[in-house]
Amino acid sequence: MSALHPRSLSRLLLAGLLPLCLSACEATFFSALNTVTPANAVQAKRGIVFEPQHDLALDIYRPAHAHHAPVVVFFYGGAWQDGKRQWYRWAGETLAHHGLVVVVPDYRKFPQVKLDGFMHDAARAVAWTRKHANAYGGDPNDLFLMGHSAGAHIGALLATHASWLQQVGMEPRQLRGFIGLAGPYDFLPLREQVYVDMFGHTHAQQLRSQPVNYVDGNEPPMLLLQGGDDKLVAPDNALSLAAAMREHGERVQDHVYSGVSHAGLLLSLSQPFRYKATALRDTLGFIDAHSLDARANPDAHARSEARASP
């Protein structure tokens, strides 16, 4: 397939061809998207190895003069089987353009590993980020997790099932918040063999994969974003996790964007597709509201709205 001209991206989405493109030529699509993402005053440091044993690396995107900025660890999606951190340069640059230090890490995928493998990698990436955030202008105590699809599942499980972060000397309550885009959080029973092989053949094993099962009142605040026209991850996943958070008196916001698809929600973070949903504005508002300086800056929400303007 020939390279996509950046101006054709919106046409692809409107024509309903995006799902085909994402399954057949992700690298080409994301390469084109990377070319239209503004990177003014954004600095990047790519390929930093955080897990030498498995040769896992991460990329960091930061404002040029970042100082004690909120930090976001972004886990990309791909059904726990696909995806590369390099494809998400546009996401890192977009968030960094709005004042955040953004870390996009590798994680191993199925069939190389199963649940324990990619969760181990994700926890190690978060611990590395907390340890090194200061060196890149970030505040290690102002740490947020964010992810799309399978990446949102990984982030949600880190935020709910304390054992994963405890393995790297952390607790979910040390996180300032979790932002999930189109995440599977409550998706039993498993109907496809690949997911049975990935998450376990017994019900007890499969329960370990469900973030909704671990909400116990010790979670960070959550922002759960979902496309109303998502055919891959049912909106009920976000609604179920939000209900569990509320049952335990936890702070949670959930938004279902009418007419927005699974991929469309992710892409609404980017300039070409921002008209599809207010996900970027809502994300920045959430981070401003829950960051360490929120109490000292009562105009945080207005500031986030201004930052998210084109």
DSSP string covering 164-214: HHHTTT--GGGSSEEEEES--SS-PSP-SHHHHHHH-SSHHHHHTT-GGGG
Q: What angle do the packed helices 150-160 and 115-132 form, to 10 degrees?
A: 70
Do residues 13 and 267 make contact, with C-beta atoms less than 8 angstroms apart? yes
53-62, 65-74, 269-278: which has the minimum mean pLDDT?
Answer: 269-278
Domains of the chain (ranges plus CATH)? Answer: 37-307 (3.40.50.1820)
- Percent composition of the chain: helix, strand, coil (DSSP 3-state, to 5): 45, 20, 35
Q: Taking the mean position of all CA atoms in its chain, how far away is CA 267?
A: 12
Residue 135, pLDDT > 50, answer: yes
Q: Taking the mean position of all CA atoms in its chain, how far away is CA 118?
A: 15
CA separation for the pair 49, 173 (Å, rounded): 26
CA separation for the pair 276, 268 (Å, rounded): 6
Q: Residues 216-220: what's their mean pLDDT?
A: 97
pLDDT of residue 4: 41
Do residues 52 and 122 make contact, with C-beta atoms less than 8 angstroms apart? no
Q: Which residues contact 37 (CB under 8 A, 6 or more apart)?
A: 89, 90, 93, 94, 270, 271
Q: Which two tokens stand for residue 114?
A: 């199963």
Query: Quick one: DSSP state of residue 5?
Result: P
Q: Which residue has the higher pLDDT, 176 or 19?
A: 176
Residue 105, pLDDT > 70, answer: yes
